[in-house]
Amino acid sequence: MKFADLGLSVELLKAVADAGYDEPTPIQAQAIPSVLMMKDIIGIAQTGTGKTASFVLPMIDILAHGRSRARMPRSLILEPTRELAAQVAENFEKYGKNHNLTMALLIGGVSMGDQIKALEKGVDVLIATPGRLMDLFERGRILMSGCELLVIDEADRMLDMGFIPDIEQICSKLPSTRQTMLFSATMPPPIKKLSDQFLNNPKYIEASRPATANTSIDQSIIHVAPKAKRSLLYGILDNDGVDTAIIFCNRKTEVRDLCESLRKDGFDAGQIHGDMDQGSRLAELDRFKSGEINILCASDVAARGLDIKGVSHVVNYDIPWHPDDYIHRIGRTGRAGATGIAITFVTKRDEEHVDSIEKLTGMKLPVRESSSVKPEKKQGGKKPFVKKTPAEPKADKPKNQQSQEPVADTSKATDTNRRPPKSAEKVMKPEKQPSKPKLVEETDDGWNGPVPGFLDAKLNR
Ligand code: AMP
């Protein structure tokens, strides 16, 4: 199958070729022709399958005809988090560069004035997190009656974060004749109910079995005593051909401690978790993406949706409490056709979690013997670490320099991706005056990082 067989315009085919894609992924091949035929879609697809392009590409062609009107967005994409919204906006820019569509990003924490101005001018594509969208709607700043195309992305995560009531409200404000697409990695009953209620005779597309982890990921579990986890991890990092790794822990304090130990022992490690301020999180992610560091210790804040290329290993230092999180965590490796390795540490108390993951994925997780991992190298304290990913030469700086601001000790707190209380969600920090406009979010998943200035972006820049 070729992109040219899917019915996309010449301009889009050019943008796709410029993006370097040879052929559509299975979800794209199945979804794009149906979306172009204005059908409702339920897409069961995990991240890394190319699902974003499966709705963004046909939307661009559909929206190419027609004009936007003030305060009446022509299409709406709902994303659970600010950084996912930003990623979709990036996709729109990339694929829509040969079109003349306007886009606005509505996410919490940004000065509402700018967003209102963007809406007043009229936008073709509105990408929003549900909280901010409802806020502006309740203030009478958005009219949903012109919105004929709706995408609910990462629906299962919306559920986790408590957004379903907001989504129900939003759906009820849109024209009933609209086209709706719903994407989710899994299909728990409340999402099924939502789709029954708001989709009209949808085409059901399954890029892979629901919740089946990507087959290009070599998955295994290793039984280990809690106290032996650290040396097992070091053995893997030293001897298992790790280029880049994300190490997931269930608690923020564990993320922090592990990262500090790794740095002390000479690894180029960074961290990302819910206690860090926005700048530190994004800076850390950038360092990882650029190859400046090759190990990222992370909580589930980083588990879903982020498109970080070329991660060779995902290590679940702690097995996730929710089986869905397992799918999302290991989805950080094996992206878009590349192979990856996912290793999960399992202690005696974790067997129940292994069962629920196996039930959800429908596969037995192969057990790897801990003895198959060569012990860590003993090099008299610090480990010599040879970075394998290309990185810009960096200025001399102390090896263990901490770039993060001090964070509060929340040793009891867990770091799941659950929605913060409503009261917390609506709070807006006064904006500092950054030199470049930054979008700041402090809602949704607690992600507070700046994002590129997509607000009211012209797609053909
Ligand atoms: P997604 O599942 O939408 O997060 O996409 C995962 C990654 O796959 C992104 O880096 C996309 O740029 C990339 N991608 C999307 N479609 C294709 C394709 N047809 N061929 C190769 N890579 C793709």
Is the C-beta atom of 24 inside 6 A of ligand 1? yes
Residue 278 binned pLDDT confidence (cut-offs 50, 70, 90): low
Relative to the CA of 21, which ligand 1 atom is closest?
20
- 139 with 240, same domain: the answer is no
In a domain, 460, yes or no: no
Residue 447 is assigned to a structural domain of this protein: no
Nearest Cα residue to atom 10 of ligand 1: 307
Q: Within this chain, do residues 96 and 193 fall inside the same structural domain, yes or no?
A: yes
**Residue 268 is part of a domain; what is its CATH number?**
3.40.50.300
Q: Please choose, from the candidates 176, 169, 105, the residue with its C-alpha nearest in 3D space to the C-alpha of residue 145.
A: 176
Best mutation site among 32, 52, 208 for ligand 1 pocket (most ligand atoms within 8 Å of CB): 52
How far is 79 from 77, CA to CA, in rounded Å? 6
pLDDT tops 70 at residue 52: yes
Find the domain containing 159 and state its range.
3-206
For residues 199 and 82, membership in a common domain is answered with yes
Q: Does the predicted TM-score (pTM) go above 0.75?
A: no
Q: Residue 450, class by beta-carbon neighbours within 10 Å (0-12 exposed, 13-18 middle, 19+ buried)?
A: buried
pLDDT band at 125 (very low <50, low <70, confident <90, very high): very high
Ligand 1 centre distance from Cα of residue 45 (Å): 12
Rounded average pLDDT over 81-95: 88
Ligand 1 pocket residue status of 48, Cβ below 6 Å: yes
Among 180, 206, 232, residue at a domain's last position: 206
Strand pairing class (102-106; 457-458): antiparallel
Q: Are 97 and 9 in contact (CB under 8 A)?
A: no
How many CB atoms are closer than 10 A to CB 3?
A: 20
Pairing of strands 295-298, 269-272: parallel
Strand spans (E) along 326-415: 340-346
Residue 404 is assigned to a structural domain of this protein: no
Quick check: is 132 in a domain? yes
**173-187, 302-316, 443-457 — which one is most confidently predicted on average?**
173-187
pLDDT value at residue 206: 86
pLDDT above 80 for 385: no
Q: How far is the C-alpha of 67 from the C-alpha of 65, rounded, in Å?
A: 7
Residue 264 sits in the same domain as residue 357: yes
Residue 43 lies inside a defined structural domain of this protein: yes
Average pLDDT over every residue of 128-153: 93
Distance between CA 392 and CA 153 in Å, rounded?
Answer: 35
C-alpha separations of 309 from 210, 326, 335 in Å:
23, 19, 7
**pLDDT above 70: residue 391:** no
Domain boundary among 372, 396, 431: 372
pLDDT at site 337:
58
- Position 87 scores a pLDDT of 85
Is 191 found in the same domain as 315?
Answer: no
Q: What percent of the chain has pLDDT over 90?
A: 48
Give the pLDDT score at 75.
Answer: 97
75 lines ligand 1 (CB under 6 A): no
Q: What's the rounded Cα separation, in Å, for the pair 425 and 429?
A: 11
At position 54, the amino acid (one-letter code) is: S
The answer, yes or no, to whether any atom of ligand 1 lies below 6 A from the CB of 89, is no
Helices 10-18 and 82-95 cross at an angle (nearest 10°) of 110
pLDDT at 30: 95
Q: Is the CB of 47 under 6 A from ligand 1?
A: yes
The pLDDT of residue 21 is: 87
Residue finishing a domain among 206, 225, 249: 206
Sequence-distant (6+) residues with CB within 8 A of 53 are: 16, 21, 25, 28, 91, 95
Number of domains in the chain: 2
Looking at the structure, do residues 17 and 163 belong to the same domain, yes or no? Answer: yes
323 and 356 in a common domain:
yes
* Pair (144, 278) in one structural domain: no
- Cβ of 54 closer than 6 Å to ligand 1, yes or no, is no
Instruction: Tell me, yes or no, whether 163 and 185 share the same domain.
Output: yes
Torsion angle, alpha carbons of 12, 18, 21, 25, to 10: -30
Does 311 sit in the ligand 1 pocket, CB within 6 Å? no
**Atom of ligand 1 at shortest distance to CA of 51?**
3
- 296 falls within a domain: yes
Nearest alpha carbon to residue 332 among 362, 376, 299:
299
Q: How far is the CA of 282 from the centre of ligand 1 (A)?
A: 22
**In this structure, are 195 and 235 located in the same domain?**
no
d(CA 82, CA 59): 21
Q: Are 17 and 102 within one domain? A: yes
Q: How many C-beta neighbours within 10 Å does residue 111 have?
A: 15
Which atom from ligand 1 is nearest to the alpha carbon of 336?
Answer: 8
433 Cβ contact partners less than 8 Å away, ≥ 6 residues apart = none
Answer yes or no: is the C-beta of 25 below 6 A from any ligand 1 atom.
yes
**Cβ of 219 less than 6 Å from ligand 1:** no
Atom of ligand 1 lying closest to residue 309 CA:
10
Does 171 share its domain with 224? no
Per-residue pLDDT averaged across 124-140, rounded? 92
Helix, strand, coil percentages in the chain from 3-state DSSP, rounded to 5: 40, 15, 45
- Residues recorded for the chain: 461
Q: How far is the CA of 94 from the centre of ligand 1 (A)?
A: 12
* Residue in 8, 18, 21 to alter for ligand 1 test, most ligand atoms within 8 A of Cβ: 21
Pairing of strands 217-223, 203-206: unpaired
Reading phi first (left if > 0) and then psi (alpha if -120 to 50, else beta), residue 407 is in beta
44 vs 435, higher pLDDT = 44
d(CA 98, CA 120): 24
